[in-house]
Amino acid sequence: MTEPTISLLERHWHHLPANEVAELLDSDLVHGLNADEVLRRRDTFGANLLTPKKGKPAWLRFLFQFHQPLIYILIASSAITAFLQEWVDSGVIFGVVLVNAVIGYIQEAKAEDAIAALARMAASATIVLRDGIKQPLPAAELVPGDVVLLAPGDKVPADLRLFRTRELMTDEASLTGESLPVAKLTVHLEKDVVLAERANMAYASTLVTSGQGTGVVVATGDTTETGRISRLIAHATDLSTPLTRKIEHFSAIMLYVILGLAVFTFVVGTWRGEAPVEMFMAAVALAVGAIPEGLPAAITITLAIGVSRMARRRAIIRKLPAVETLGGATVICSDKTGTLTENQMTVQEIYAGGETFRVSGGGYAAQGEISLDGKVVAPQGALRECLVAGVLCNDAVLVEREGRREVAGDPTEGALLVAAEKGGLVPSELHAAYARRDEVPFDSRYQYMATLHGDVVYIKGALEKILDRTSAMLDPEGRELVLDRAAIEAHAHAMASHGLRVLALARGAPEEGEALDHRHLGNLVFIGLQGMIDPPRAEAVAAVKACHAAGIAVKMITGDHAITAAAIAAQLGLGEGAPPLTGRQIAALSDAELRKAVRNTTVFARVEPEQKLRLVEALQAEGEIVAMTGDGVNDAPALKQADIGIAMGITGTEVAKEAAAMLLTDDNFASIEAAVEEGRGVFDNLVKFITWTLPTNFGEGFVILAAVVLGVTLPITPLQILWINMTTAVLLGLMLAFEPIDQDVMRRPPRHPAAPILTTALMLRILLVSAMLLGGAFGLFLWELETGESLEQARTVAVNVFVMGELFYLFNCRSMTHSPFHVGFFSNAWLWSGVGLMILLQLFFTYAPVMNRLFASAPIGLDDWARIVAVGLVIYFVIEAEKAWRRRG
């Protein structure tokens, strides 16, 4: 090809005939572009990506860190202390505000990056015709002139001028706002037709809801209509979840309580005749001490860590709240084929002309034979026709990859190709000899597909659907006989009860001139059955067991036959419960009856995608928290309705992925179980952090309150309180986010999402620790003064009581129920580094002259340290005793 002379300024593609469009774009509608030409165009036009619109600038996002009521209080305190000419106090308070903003900013950016990286991982492939070969490619690699094939569930990857369509419908809501799918045709259109009515165009980022189409790329990246209106461009990631909102609400209430107490402190103190400045400082101390400032940031970062942990275990979170909901799931509804099973299909049995043939060999290698009564046979008559139908009515291709044979396409169809090869047929030769003239694509609603070759149409699909349209069958030699429906059904039943997935094959002769479609396929001749095994995934068996131990019910939902489904379910350990419920039975049930039925049924077979929505609703009406998997376009409503919609990363359509809250990169059921485990772990770590952090705040608040009420000098200054809060939150508390998951996390029943975050038992524990911190700090403070030490020394001791108390208590918080030794005493390296740093920092605080000057601290003796550590140990042992007592009780 010569240098492309194509002009992308042409915007009236809809007005031009398809061949003229192809000519203008210097493209070939039959073979697509060739590799060299693609490279050249990539240079000219760049990648098919939208330039991300800049989000809020960094400085603005940084400023937003100050936009919190608590920070307002700190800034106000800083301003007033400056006015009072307490320069050091003012400076340090302001420094803390800055540090807090920097930490918040970094954590937020990290969390957003983690989520953006996941979005890139979930990027999709599109089918492109290049060098005459259809190939899956990342959408980003498209160039103008590429020929693209659209299938149901695809996201249109670029602006396309369509030149072939088959009942193609697209959802253009994202572009035009039109909420109903619009029909696409290859008609000629006037020049002035508006965007929403250009039926012969498919626009980037719209979704294919049904049918098929082929089009040539006329615009990519920013030159697409979507790129031009740039309405869909990346908006800021929303980091809020139900839990963070609950915490914000909780903090707001606390804020008012604390402000009230601060005012109370000031009033009581001044009324007693203390200096207003002094009392103002006490009020400030109370406010800054009692508010858990690190909480929101800690929660965001814990969630973000959970998200990346899940990604490592092949579950990609698309919507952050799913991290929390996952841990509370009570039912997982899973697809069978490919999720609970390997999706490695091998034909083992063929029933044709009333005879039963065995097929040997496993996997996709062509080694194996077809035999009848132990004798190898060369296919003829009905058997041959059965193999030929399986090859022709087929979209899959066997490819060699790294010395192994794999299926490009549907494994069910790959198995049919392999079976034919074992019978000595060559699929590529058959395809060449009997070219496909027309087709009805497979759709899980109809459960069959059909293709037209010459004047014969071949159909394959679910037996019931095929038999309903059949009136004759073949004898062993391939002659037509009257249909013996009962015999065929009995045989299919026997195959299915061994766990074989059974496909029926038939042929017909459509009326001349009639379009091939669902209405016109009738009067068929039954050819035979092919039964294939699809072994359960070994990991799935273990994962099902783990779910059951965790109090989570697992339900199998499949389009496959009830008997096959039940046989596989039994192998997976899902055999108990009521017998399988079929789609037909579900359709006959009222909502109330369905609610009753879903409780004990574990296998739902021959389910149509639309029925999944009813199943989710019935389970939710029973109070369940439902996780539901799906891959097709029609699964989207169920995925949206489910508490956690899970889309398949490999076989899933774009529509399903967009509707889902989570993606599985390996389509494997075991990854769902892993994600649930991580979800529970994340929640545990959040609870641990909250239980750990609140006693500091309560304790400090009580200390100030007690001092003012008793008329004693403040045992800790506002500055010192800020020091304690900032250092312990970062060096100690945050390390809890790295805690390994509790061993027994999957042996507990699911947490109810409406249950309060802190149980009464935990609230009591928090108060107990707060009281011990109050007692320790206040007691040692008074004791130091009593024994003639300086005020600075006494305060330094009080500060160290808080830090050491929280340090020892951190080990209690590593598990809510067990001792830290049970968890593995050294299993969290982060925590130990944090503890080490914290101790060094505290020595610095106590002994460094600069710190003595800044924070009014003073060196203390070894005996003081002994008493401080003793308080820490008392807290540790009291809480361990309390935990042990609860374990028994």
Give which of Mg ion, ligand ADP, none residue 28 binds (C-beta under 5 to 8 Å, depending on kind): none
Binding stretches for ligand ADP (CB under 6 A): 335-337, 410, 412-413, 442, 444, 447-449, 460-462, 501, 503, 558-561
Give which of ligand ADP, Mg ion, none residue 449 binds (C-beta under 5 to 8 Å, depending on kind): ligand ADP
Alpha carbons 460 and 413: distance in angstroms, whole number: 10
- Decide whether 301 or 440 has the Cβ nearer to ligand ADP: 440
335 in catalytic set = yes
Locate the DSSP E strands across 109-260: 125-130, 133-138, 147-150, 159-171, 182-183, 201-202, 207-219
Distance of CA 441 to the CA centre of its chain: 30
Shortest Å distance, C-beta 440 to ligand ADP: 10
- Decide whether 646 or 823 has the Cβ nearer to ligand ADP: 646
Shortest Å distance, C-beta 337 to Mg ion: 4
Rg of the chain (C-alpha set): 34
- Decide whether 521 or 732 has the Cβ nearer to ligand ADP: 521
- Decide whether 606 or 814 has the Cβ nearer to ligand ADP: 606
- Decide whether 48 or 634 has the Cβ nearer to ligand ADP: 634
Give which of Mg ion, ligand ADP, none residue 558 binds (C-beta under 5 to 8 Å, depending on kind): ligand ADP
**Per the residue annotation, which of 335, 410, 443, 534 is the catalytic one?**
335
Give which of ligand ADP, Mg ion, none residue 691 binds (C-beta under 5 to 8 Å, depending on kind): none
Q: Which of residues 310-349 bind Mg ion (CB under 5 A)?
A: 337
- Greatest Cα-to-Cα distance within the chain, rounded to the nearest angstrom: 114
Closest CA to 797 of 865, 729, 850: 865
Give which of Mg ion, ligand ADP, none residue 412 binds (C-beta under 5 to 8 Å, depending on kind): ligand ADP
Shortest Å distance, C-beta 462 to ligand ADP: 4
Q: Which of residues 224-243 bind Mg ion (CB under 5 A)?
A: none
Shortest Å distance, C-beta 503 to ligand ADP: 5
Helix intervals (H) in 313-347: 321-327
Shortest Å distance, C-beta 101 to Mg ion: 51
Give which of ligand ADP, Mg ion, none residue 174 binds (C-beta under 5 to 8 Å, depending on kind): none
Alpha carbons 194 and 181: distance in angstroms, whole number: 17
Q: Which of residues 139-198 bind Mg ion (CB under 5 A)?
A: none
User: Cβ-closest residue to Mg ion?
Assistant: 337
Give which of ligand ADP, Mg ion, none residue 247 binds (C-beta under 5 to 8 Å, depending on kind): none
Burial (CB count within 10 angstroms: exposed 0-12, middle 13-18, buried 19+), residue 675: buried
For 168, the 3-state DSSP assignment is: strand
Shortest Å distance, C-beta 337 to ligand ADP: 3
**CB-CB neighbours of 782 under 10 Å:** 15
Give which of Mg ion, ligand ADP, none residue 550 binds (C-beta under 5 to 8 Å, depending on kind): none
Unique residue bearing structure tokens 């007692």? 775
**558 makes contact with Mg ion (CB under 5 A):** no
Number of residues near Mg ion (by CB under 5 A)? 1
Please, are residues 328 and 750 in contact by the beta-carbon 8 Å criterion?
yes
476 φ, ψ to 5°? -55, -35
Closest CA to 440 of 153, 210, 132: 210
- Decide whether 146 or 534 has the Cβ nearer to Mg ion: 534
Shortest Å distance, C-beta 634 to Mg ion: 12
Closest CA to 701 of 770, 775, 765: 770
438 φ, ψ to 5°? -160, 170
**CB-CB neighbours of 753 under 10 Å:** 15
Q: Which residues are paired to 474 by β-bridges?
A: 480
Shortest Å distance, C-beta 145 to ligand ADP: 31
Please, are residues 237 and 119 in contact by the beta-carbon 8 Å criterion?
no
Helix intervals (H) in 622-668: 636-641, 654-659
User: Cβ-closest residue to ligand ADP?
Assistant: 559
- Decide whether 145 or 499 has the Cβ nearer to ligand ADP: 499
- Decide whether 410 or 673 has the Cβ nearer to ligand ADP: 410
Q: What is the DSSP string of 738-768?
A: GPPPPTTGGGSPPPPTTS-SS-HHHHHHHHH
Active-site residue list? 335
Binding site for Mg ion (CB under 5 A): 337
